[in-house]
Chain A
Amino acid sequence: MNYFPDEVLEQVFDFVTSHRDRNSLSLVCKSWYKLERFSRLKVFIGNCYAISPERTIDRFPGLKSLTLKGKPHFADFNLVPYDWGGYVYPWIQALARNRIGLEELRLKRMVVSDESLELLSRAFENFKSLVLDNCEGFTTGGLAAIAANCRSLRELDLQENEIDDGQWLSCFPESCTSLVSLNFACLKGEINLASLERLVARSPNLKLLRVSRAVPLDTLHNILSRAPQLVDLGIGSYVQDPDSEAFNKLKATILKCKSVKSLSGFLDVAPQCLEAIYPICSNLTSLNLSYAPGIHGLELIKLLRHCTKLQRLWVLDCIGDKGLEVVASTCKELQELRVFPSDLNGVGHAAVTEEGLVAISIGCPKLHSLLYFCQQMTNAALITVAKNCPNFIRFRLCILNPTKPDHVTAQPLDEGFGAVVHACKKLRRLSLSGLLTDRVFLYIGMYAEQLEMLSIAFAGDSDKGMLYVLNGCKKLRKLEIRDCPFGNMALLEDVGKYETMRSLWMSSCEVTLGGCKTIAKKKPMLNVEIINENDQDFCLDDEQRVEKMYLYRTLVGRRDDAPDCVWTLDAS
Chain B
Amino acid sequence: MESKMAYENDLNLKATELRLGLPGTDECEDQALSGTVGNKKRPMPEKSEERESKDAETAPPAKAQIVGWPPVRSYRKNSLQQKKPEAEIAGMYVKVSMDGAPYLRKIDMRVYKGYPELLKALEDMFKFTVGEYSEREGYKGSEYVPTYEDKDGDWMLVGDVPWDMFMSSCKKLRIMKGSEARGLGCGA
Complexed CA–CA distance, A80 and B81 (Å): 22
Interface residues in B138-185 (C-beta closer than 8 Å to A): 151-152, 162, 164-165, 168-169
Complexed CA–CA distance, A504 and B82 (Å): 34
Instruction: Report B-chain residues with C-beta under 8 Å of the C-beta of A334.
Output: none
Q: Which residue of A lies closest to B38 (CB)?
A: A78
Cβ of B16 < 8 Å from any Cβ of A?
yes
Interface residues in A381-436 (C-beta closer than 8 Å to B): 398, 400-405, 410, 412, 431, 435
**In the complex where A401-B63, A462-B3 touch, is A344 in contact with B75 (Cβ < 8 A)?**
no
A522-538 interface code vs B (CB 8 A; 1 in, 0 out): 00000000000111000
| Chain B interface, number of residues (Cβ within 8 angstroms) | 59
Interface residues in A83-140 (C-beta closer than 8 Å to B): 83, 134, 136
Instruction: Report A-chain residues with C-beta under 8 Å of the C-beta of B162.
Output: 272
Instruction: Report A-chain residues with C-beta under 8 Å of the C-beta of B62.
Output: 345-347
Q: Which residue of A lies closest to B67 (CB)?
A: A78
Give the distance to chain A from B38, nearest Cβ to Cβ, in Å: 7
Instruction: Report B-chain residues with C-beta under 8 Å of the C-beta of A268.
Output: 83, 88
Complexed CA–CA distance, A346 and B70 (Å): 12
Instruction: Report B-chain residues with C-beta under 8 Å of the C-beta of A271.
Output: 164
Complexed CA–CA distance, A347 and B85 (Å): 18
Q: Are A79 and B68 touching (Cβ within 8 A)?
A: yes
Cβ of A496 < 8 Å from any Cβ of B?
no
Interface residues in B1-53 (C-beta closer than 8 Å to A): 1-5, 7, 12, 15-19, 22-25, 30-32, 34, 36-38, 40-43, 45-46
Instruction: Report B-chain residues with C-beta under 8 Å of the C-beta of A228.
Output: none
Which interface class (under 10, 10 to 19, 20 to 34, 35 or more) fits A? 35 or more
Contact of B22 among A80, A134, A294, A508 (CB under 8 A): A508
Cβ of A76 < 8 Å from any Cβ of B?
yes
Q: Which residue of B lies closest to A563 (CB)?
A: B43
Interface residues in B59-93 (C-beta closer than 8 Å to A): 62-64, 66-81, 83-85, 88
Q: Are A241 and B169 touching (Cβ within 8 A)?
A: yes
Cβ of A184 < 8 Å from any Cβ of B?
no
Give the distance to chain B from A537, nearest Cβ to Cβ, in Å: 13
Interface stretch among A40-48, A214-222, A303-311, A482-490?
A482-490
Complexed CA–CA distance, A390 and B17 (Å): 33
Complexed CA–CA distance, A295 and B5 (Å): 42
Complexed CA–CA distance, A412 and B63 (Å): 20
**In the complex where A75-B40, A342-B80 touch, is A485 in contact with B22 (Cβ < 8 A)?**
yes
Complexed CA–CA distance, A23 and B40 (Å): 36
Q: Are B84 and A483 touching (Cβ within 8 A)?
A: no
Cβ of A437 < 8 Å from any Cβ of B?
yes
Give the distance to chain B from A546, nearest Cβ to Cβ, in Å: 11
Cβ of A352 < 8 Å from any Cβ of B?
no
Give the distance to chain B from A497, nearest Cβ to Cβ, in Å: 21
Cβ of A186 < 8 Å from any Cβ of B?
yes
Q: Are A78 and B5 touching (Cβ within 8 A)?
A: no
Task: Give the number of A-B contacts (CB < 8 Å).
Answer: 163
Complexed CA–CA distance, A136 and B39 (Å): 12
Q: Are A487 and B64 touching (Cβ within 8 A)?
A: no
Contact of A508 among B2, B30, B40 (CB under 8 A): B30
Complexed CA–CA distance, A76 and B69 (Å): 11
Cβ of A242 < 8 Å from any Cβ of B?
yes
Q: Are B63 and A347 touching (Cβ within 8 A)?
A: yes
Q: Are B72 and A341 touching (Cβ within 8 A)?
A: yes
Secondary structure at the B interface, as helix, strand, loop or mixed, is: loop
Q: Are B3 and A341 touching (Cβ within 8 A)?
A: no
Q: Are B73 and A487 touching (Cβ within 8 A)?
A: no
Cβ of A74 < 8 Å from any Cβ of B?
yes
Q: Are B5 and A461 touching (Cβ within 8 A)?
A: yes
Give the distance to chain B from A82, nearest Cβ to Cβ, in Å: 5
Contact of B2 among A186, A242, A463 (CB under 8 A): A463
Q: Which residue of A lies closest to B3 (CB)?
A: A485
Contact of A410 among B12, B19, B43, B63 (CB under 8 A): B12
**In the complex where A78-B37, A461-B3, A483-B22 touch, is A344 in contact with B77 (Cβ < 8 A)?**
yes
Contact of A344 among B67, B81, B152 (CB under 8 A): B81
Instruction: Report A-chain residues with C-beta under 8 Å of the C-beta of B80.
Output: 291, 293, 342, 344
Complexed CA–CA distance, A77 and B67 (Å): 8
Q: Which residue of B lies closest to A291 (CB)?
A: B79
Contact of B15 among A267, A405, A482 (CB under 8 A): A405
**In the complex where A268-B88, A272-B162 touch, is A485 in contact with B73 (Cβ < 8 A)?**
no
Contact of B83 among A267, A459, A463 (CB under 8 A): A267
Complexed CA–CA distance, A509 and B165 (Å): 53
Q: Are B22 and A186 touching (Cβ within 8 A)?
A: no
Q: Are B168 and A270 touching (Cβ within 8 A)?
A: yes
Cβ of A10 < 8 Å from any Cβ of B?
no
Instruction: Report A-chain residues with C-beta under 8 Å of the C-beta of B68.
Output: 74, 77-79, 482
Query: Which residues of B are in contact with A by a Cβ distance under 8 Å?
Result: 1-5, 7, 12, 15-19, 22-25, 30-32, 34, 36-38, 40-43, 45-46, 62-64, 66-81, 83-85, 88, 151-152, 162, 164-165, 168-169
5 A-B pairs with the lowest CB-CB distances in the bound complex, closest first: A77-B68, A462-B2, A160-B75, A485-B3, A76-B73
10 additional contacts, CB 8 Å, given A161-B75, A346-B62?
Answer: A77-B73, A79-B67, A82-B42, A268-B83, A344-B77, A403-B19, A404-B16, A405-B12, A412-B15, A460-B23
